[in-house]
Each structure stands twice: as structure tokens, then as C-alpha cells.
Amino acid sequence: MSSELEKLKRKCEEEVKNSPNAESFNGIRIKYLGRKGELTKILRSLKDLPFEERKKIGQQANILKKELEDLISGKEKELSTSNFQFPTSNFDITKPGKKISRGHFHPLTKIDEEVRQIFTSMNFSVVEGPEAETEFYNFDALNIPSNHPARDVWDTLWIKNPKSEILNPKQISKLKFQNSKLLLRAHTSPMQIRYMENHNPPFQIIVPGRVFRYEATDASHEINFYQVEGLMVGPAVTLANFKFVVEEFFQRFFGRQVEFRYKPSYFPFVEPGLEVEVKLGGKWLEVMGAGMVHRKVFDAVRYNPGQVQGFAFGMGLDRLAMLKYNVPDIRLFYSGDLRFIKQF
Ligand code: PHE
């Protein structure tokens, strides 16, 4: 090939190689193969050459033309399909890459998962129940009759719906039928009743779930939040068993030795009732309500209180998350603010 064609070929190849993107190929095509392009110029100048030489160089130039055409279109196609940006002169490979943000679990989901794990490792089963409950399960069966002052403790959101349809009046007690007015459960304790109605002791369960309260919100109150209920019933389950289970749980949950304090308290569905406090950062904090299952509760589910006994507890999942992650305001969990969520 004539040295001039050779040079042209190399120049064009170089330019194609350094082309930053698919768009720049049109320019190259015009520059070399266009009507006034460099190769076209050579082809035009052939007419001044002697016949033999004209024939030889003409052939070579036509082959080269085809080659360059293929080279340009090939590269062009490659770049436009791979969407790859060729490094331009100011491309800096030492710059840190762009951070790709990935989705992850909400802090409350993480705490929920952790609580389930610790309890299942202690042989507890996890069960869940309905968020729309009846008055009977949320109150009456838990020894909180309509006229009981303790009902005020659970500021309740009632549902404007006369009766729950799940209940068949022929199969259930009069009270259960009468008090089947729907509400949003104010605690997870109604699942104690639902579970015991369908299972026989011995058993140990936890019930994580969302609960609702008709309350003004502030840094420590939300209209909905999460609780974890615990219930263990058997022929000889005692407060000592309860102590072991909760202390084991909190020890593992906080990942270190914590101090405990038990205070007498009152809930209509336990006797005796107590509150568990843990010492964190030098301060005593209430983390759980609990007690031995009241015999009226066993009556409601037709267990024989002379044959079984057990403990129950309830704790706020949000509260645990706030303590573990040092979150000052419960409302942050429900704010949907990514600046908050992304920290976990
Ligand atoms: N249900 C109680 C509450 O919401 C907590 C609790 C559960 C207390 C079980 C004792 C036993 O405050």
C-alpha cells in the first residue's frame, strides 16, 4: 500500500480509538470518507497518475475505503449499544466512585427481627393476631369489663361498625357476642386469649404487633406503635421462670450485663402485676409490664386455674429501639424522613 494511504489509515484508526462517544463518529466519517474527505481527495488525484499505478493505488484506496467504513460503523455500534462513555482527556480514574444507595430495613423492623430471634432461640413460638379486634378480646376477656376504670388506661380508637362479622352467635358466649364491637387493638394482650382458646398448655409464645391509642402525640407517644406480648403457661410456670426469661432476653438484646429492678404494678389481667426496669446510662427505665396470668383470664378461656399457671408480659418495641439506638423522639420512626432512616 502506498505510504500515503498507510499514514491515512493509521491516523483514522487512532482517531476512532480515541473517540469519546458514538456521536463523534459522524465527524470522523465526513473527515475521511466525505465528499471532501481525505481519502476521497486521494482517489480524485489518481487521474494524474500513469495507468498502471492508477490501477494499483485505486484498488488499494477502494479496499481502504471499505475498511475504514467498517471500522467506524463497528465502533460506533459498539459504543451506542454498550452505552459506555469512553474516557475523555479530563477523565480522572483516581476520583472516588459514586455511592450507590441501596434499600435497607427500617430500624423498627430490625429490632422486631432481633426480638423474634432471641425468643425463638429460647424455644418461644411467634404468633400474630388481628389489628382490628373486638371489645371482648381487647377488654372483657382480659378482666376489664365495661364499667372497669382501667379501661381508661387504654385510650381506644373505636371502629364505626356495629358488629364483627367473624363471630357466629351460635358458637360463642353471650358476652363475646354482645361485646363484638370493633376497635383498633390498644395492646397485643388480646392475643393471649385468642391463642389460649385454641391451644392447650404447656406453651410459650411471643406476639409482636402494631397497636393503636387515641392520644395526643409527643416525643414518647404515638397514635400507633409496636408491642411484643409474651405468654408462657404450664403446670408449674413461676415468677422465677419469668425472671430468668426476661433477664436473659435483655442481656442479649443490649449485648451486655444490665441491672434489673422489679416494681409492683397493676394490670387487671395479671396478679401479681409488676413493672420491669433496667438501668441504662445510670438511669432506671421502665421497659416492660408483666405479671402472673390472672385466674379470671384462665376462666375466660376455660382453663382450669387449679391445674395451670403462667406469666405474661408486654413491652414497647419502639421504646426498645429508642433505647438501643439513642433516638430521642418516637415520632421520628413514622416521619418517613430519609435523613433519619438512612442512619441505620
Ligand atoms: N398490655 C399491657 C399494656 O399495654 C402490658 C402487659 C402485658 C402487662 C402483659 C402485663 C402483662 O400496657
Q: What Rg do the C-alpha atoms of the chain give, in angstroms? A: 38
Structural domain spans, the chain: 2-82, 107-129+191-341
The yes-or-no verdict on residue 11 having pLDDT over 90 is no
What's the whole-model pTM score? Answer: 0.71
Query: Helical H runs in the chain?
Result: 3-17, 25-33, 38-45, 51-82, 107-121, 135-138, 174-178, 190-198, 239-254, 295-300, 317-325, 338-341
- Taking CB atoms and a 6 Å cutoff, what residues make up the pocket around ligand 1? 187, 189, 229, 267, 270, 289-291, 312-314
What is the C-alpha separation between 309 and 66, in angstroms, rounded?
Answer: 93
CA 99–ligand 1 middle distance (angstroms): 45
The yes-or-no verdict on residue 188 having pLDDT over 90 is yes
Q: Measured between alpha carbons, how far is residue 246 from residues 15, 59, 126, 226 in Å?
A: 73, 92, 16, 18
The pLDDT of residue 129 is 96
* pLDDT tens, residue by residue, 142-169: 999 988 888 888 889 998 865 655 555 5
What is the C-alpha separation between 29 and 72, in angstroms, rounded?
Answer: 7
**How high does pLDDT run on average in the chain?**
89
The pLDDT of residue 161 is 65
Site to probe by mutation for ligand 1, drawn from 189, 265, 266 as the one with most ligand atoms within 8 Å of Cβ, is: 189
The pLDDT of residue 316 is 97
* pLDDT tens, residue by residue, 22-46: 677 888 888 888 888 888 888 888 8
Question: What is the atom index within ligand 1 of the atom nearest the CA of 314?
Answer: 7
CA 267–ligand 1 middle distance (angstroms): 7
Q: How confident is the model at residue 209 (pLDDT cuts 50, 70, 90)?
A: very high
User: Of these residues, 29, 185, 213, 319, which one is catalytic?
Assistant: 213
The yes-or-no verdict on residue 10 having pLDDT over 60 is yes
117 catalytically annotated:
no
CB 185 within 8 A of CB 314: no
What is the C-alpha separation between 189 and 230, in angstroms, rounded?
Answer: 9
CA 200–ligand 1 middle distance (angstroms): 22
User: Of these residues, 270, 287, 293, 308, which one is catalytic?
Assistant: 270
> Which class would CATH give 107-129+191-341?
alpha beta
CB 325 within 8 A of CB 344: yes
Region of poorest pLDDT, from 115-129, 143-157, 301-315: 143-157
Helix (H, G, I), strand (E, B) or coil at 259: strand
CB 224 within 8 A of CB 263: no
What is the C-alpha separation between 141 and 137, in angstroms, rounded?
Answer: 5
Question: What is the atom index within ligand 1 of the atom nearest the CA of 192?
Answer: 9
Question: What is the atom index within ligand 1 of the atom nearest the CA of 153?
Answer: 12
Please state the length of the chain. 344
104 catalytically annotated:
no
Q: How confident is the model at residue 124 (pLDDT cuts 50, 70, 90)?
A: very high
What is the C-alpha separation between 224 and 125, in angstroms, rounded?
Answer: 24
312 catalytically annotated:
yes
* pLDDT tens, residue by residue, 279-297: 998 999 999 999 999 999 9
C-alpha cell recorded at residue 93: 480514574
CB 206 within 8 A of CB 116: yes
User: Of these residues, 312, 319, 321, 327, which one is catalytic?
Assistant: 312
- The mean pLDDT value for 225-237 works out to 98
The pLDDT of residue 101 is 81
Give the closest residue (by CA) to ligand 1 atom 7: 314
Helix (H, G, I), strand (E, B) or coil at 73: helix
Calculate what percentage of the chain has a pLDDT beyond 70: 94
154 catalytically annotated:
yes
What is the C-alpha separation between 321 and 318, in angstroms, rounded?
Answer: 5
Helix (H, G, I), strand (E, B) or coil at 157: strand
CA 102–ligand 1 middle distance (angstroms): 37
Give the closest residue (by CA) to ligand 1 atom 6: 314
Would you tell me the crossing angle of helices 239-254 and 317-325 to the nearest 10 degrees? Answer: 40
Burial 43-53 (b: 16+ CB within 10 A, else e): beeeeeeeeee
Calculate what percentage of the chain has a pLDDT beyond 90: 57
The yes-or-no verdict on residue 180 having pLDDT over 60 is yes
What is the C-alpha separation between 245 and 236, in angstroms, rounded?
Answer: 15
The yes-or-no verdict on residue 333 having pLDDT over 70 is yes
Helix, strand, coil tally for the chain in percent (to 5): 45, 20, 35
How many alpha carbons fall within 13 Å on the CB side of residue 8? 24
Q: How confident is the model at residue 75 (pLDDT cuts 50, 70, 90)?
A: confident
What is the C-alpha separation between 145 and 132, in angstroms, rounded?
Answer: 19
User: Of these residues, 127, 186, 207, 227, which one is catalytic?
Assistant: 227
CA 20–ligand 1 middle distance (angstroms): 67
CA 28–ligand 1 middle distance (angstroms): 78
Helix (H, G, I), strand (E, B) or coil at 241: helix
Region of poorest pLDDT, from 103-117, 154-168, 198-212: 154-168
Region of poorest pLDDT, from 30-39, 113-122, 219-228: 30-39
